[in-house]
């Protein structure tokens, strides 16, 4: 027999990785958003003009957890691919894109740096494409699991760019928690 591991051992390895990585990626994504105050109730964000194709706020609360779960599963597939030639490089690329992903919310929502957030997203676009390509070469299914994430990140880049175009004066505005609402 020439196999290093049986199919049952490979499944068990994937499950162990998934049980650790899926919650870890999901938790990191949630903490980044919470720490940055990324919600539709953010006073600075709610005052921004948004493009006509901006989705309802509940969309983000649904899409991001699903994407983080898919990302964790894809990473688990790659981590469980012990003999794969590009495994370590793929994991490093994933770590880079995840850092960029986690940095976006604090930059955009926390620091109100719309231009810098757009630059981070452009770097994230490239990092996700690289990660997806490497994942595809290690485990095709892992690459496929990242396709919705790539589509959403490209959409987020378009949204960020449009928000910047519609609100040039809001870029880098200092945090002011004074809110005045007038209802008639």
Q: What is the pLDDT along the chain (184 residues), one digit of tens a residue?
A: 455 666 666 667 778 888 999 999 999 999 998 888 888 788 888 899 999 999 999 999 999 999 999 999 999 999 998 888 999 999 999 999 999 999 999 999 999 999 999 999 999 999 999 999 999 999 999 999 999 999 999 999 999 999 999 998 888 877 555 555 566 6
Return the pLDDT at 14. 78
Q: Which candidate, 90, 78, 73, 153, places its Cα nearest to that of 121?
A: 153
Return the pLDDT at 90. 97
**Residue ranges of the alpha helices (H) in the chain?**
7-36, 43-46, 57-79, 87-105, 114-138, 140-166
Return the pLDDT at 1. 44
Distances from the Cα of 93 to the Cα of 32, 97, 100, 158, angstroms:
19, 6, 11, 23
Tokens of 62: 């649904």
Q: Which CATH superfamily is domain 7-170 in?
A: TspO/MBR protein (1.20.1260.100)
Domain boundaries, the chain: 7-170
- Residues 6+ positions from 132 with CB-CB distance below 8 Å: 143, 146, 147, 150
| The model's pTM | 0.86
Tokens of 126: 């490239």
Return the pLDDT at 62. 95
Contacts 24+ apart (CB under 8 A), 90-98: 90/131, 90/134, 90/135, 90/137, 90/138, 90/142, 93/127, 93/130, 93/131, 93/134, 94/131, 94/135, 96/127, 96/131, 97/124, 97/127, 97/128, 97/130, 97/131, 98/25, 98/28, 98/71
How far apart are alpha carbons 12 and 79 in whole angstroms? Answer: 12
Return the pLDDT at 131. 98
User: Which residue is it, tokens 């940095």?
Assistant: 103
Q: How many Cβ atoms are within 10 Å of 56's Cβ, its own excluded?
A: 9
């Amino acid at each position: 027999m020439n196999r290093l591991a049986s199919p049952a051992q490979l499944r068990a390895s994937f499950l162990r990785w998934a049980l650790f990585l899926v919650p870890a990626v999901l938790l990191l994504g949630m903490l980044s958003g919470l720490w940055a105050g990324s919600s539709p109730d953010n006073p600075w964000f709610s005052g921004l003009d948004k493009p006509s194709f901006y989705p309802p706020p509940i969309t983000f609360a649904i899409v991001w957890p699903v994407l983080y779960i898919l990302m964790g599963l894809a990473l688990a597939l790659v981590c469980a691919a012990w003999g794969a030639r590009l495994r370590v490089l793929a994991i490093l690329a994933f770590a880079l894109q995840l850092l960029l992903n986690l940095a976006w919310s604090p930059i955009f929502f926390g620091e109100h740096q719309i231009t810098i957030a757009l630059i981070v997203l452009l770097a994230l676009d490239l990092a996700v494409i690289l990660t997806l390509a490497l994942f595809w070469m290690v485990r095709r299914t892992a690459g496929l699991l990242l396709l919705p994430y790539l589509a959403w990140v490209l959409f987020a880049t378009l949204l960020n760019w449009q928000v910047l175009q519609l609100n040039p004066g809001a870029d880098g505005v200092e945090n002011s928690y004074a809110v005045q609402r007038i209802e008639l």
